[in-house]
A and B are shown apart, each in its own frame.
Chain A
Amino acid sequence: MDDNSSMAVYKSMKKAGVNFVVSVPCVNLKDLIYMVNNDPEILHIPVTREEEGIGVCAGAYLGGKKTAILMQNSGLGNSINALASLNKLYGIPLLMIISHRGVEGEQVCAQVPMGILTPHLLEAMQIQFFMPSSKSEAEDNIIEAMSTALHNKSPVAVLLKIGFWKSVC
């Protein structure tokens, strides 16, 4: 894993004004979670399950925070009802930084089904998402995703594929 990719995501989250983060680990999120956890300006809450994290972020938004979840795409399946009947119902924004497993370069066969389905699930849920192919594109996408989430009062996702975390440029 390349530190530069994680640092780029972290800096973009900061630029976007994120100050409350929940996380469920993924090997590709390891460095990012470490950075977020060590930032005194960000309240970082490790949670046990993605759906729980959606709830914690919703509560933090009620308290005025700009919230993000760091998760693997496998957790999208755990979150669908909450994203619909909590975020969509009330109009609660959320930045979803998603490690997209099960795509090119995947070593674990169990990741492949959800890897293929993830963009389709987001489309079906009418959740806007970005799939950046470079670090600089990811930086722009993260900032746009947060502002769109706040403007549209809805979750917006950024899918970061396996190659993104390995890239150096």
Chain B
Amino acid sequence: MLRIDAINIISNKAKNDGSLLISNIGIPSKELYYVCDRERNFYMLGSMGLASSIGLGLSLAKPHRHVITIEGDGSILMNLGSLATIASQKPPNYLLIIIDNGTYGSTGDEPTATSLYTDLAAIARGAGIREVYTTKTSEYLIQLMNEVKSGVIVVKVKPGNAEVPNIDISPQTILERFMEETASNIDK
């Protein structure tokens, strides 16, 4: 499984369920934009490390909406304290999915610490998050997406970026159309 395969599965489920989706800076956002652009996607274009925090704030502000964040290994390693805050708040409507390919995929596949000894699922558990799952297969990811609504899923994938175009909508447009969706009471 490559990152774009995981993004395909996650975005399909988010679309079916009407979930709000935050995606990480760089190629992950571009892959999501290519695979399944929707107004309920918030594409991060900067502030590396903050995807999990943005998703947390959104889930706390909108407790009746389901929120999914697509995070990366390099990005979550920049903001591990976020896992402790998520554990303390334990929002039942927030699912953090860390796609772990062991590299900084957007900058040239420099290895991250997860390519050696670092275990993000163990870190999430150690931070106090009760529901933590790891998958290496698309079949189990599909099953988890159907069964798990909160906590953390670590998806182990092979390094590699899909050839996808740049996001051609402005940051203001991304924000405005997303906020129209969060302000509406329609679930799907």
Chain A residues near B (Cβ < 8 Å): 20, 43, 45-49, 51-65, 67, 81-82, 84-86, 89-92
Q: A51-B49, A52-B79 are in contact. List 16 more A-B contacts (CB 8 A).
A: A43-B61, A47-B53, A52-B50, A53-B53, A55-B82, A56-B60, A58-B57, A59-B61, A63-B57, A64-B183, A86-B54, A89-B46, A89-B47, A90-B171, A91-B171, A91-B172
What CA separation (Å) do A62 and B65 show in the bound complex? 12
Task: Report B74-100 CB contacts with A as 1/0, cut-off 8 Å.
Answer: 000001011011001100000000000
Which secondary structure characterizes the binding site on chain A? Answer: helix
Chain B residues near A (Cβ < 8 Å): 22, 42, 44-62, 65, 79, 81-82, 84-85, 88-89, 171-172, 174-175, 178-179, 182-183
Task: Determine the chain A residues whose CB is within 8 A of the CB of B172 once the complex forms.
Answer: 90-91
User: Do B58 and A52 touch across chains, with their CB atoms under 8 A apart?
Assistant: no
What CA separation (Å) do A56 and B42 show in the bound complex? 14
Contact A45/B50 with A90-B174, A90-B175 known, Cβ cut-off 8 Å: no
In-complex Cβ contact of A55 among B57, B171, B175, B178 (8 A): B57
A151 nearest CB across to chain B (Å)? 15
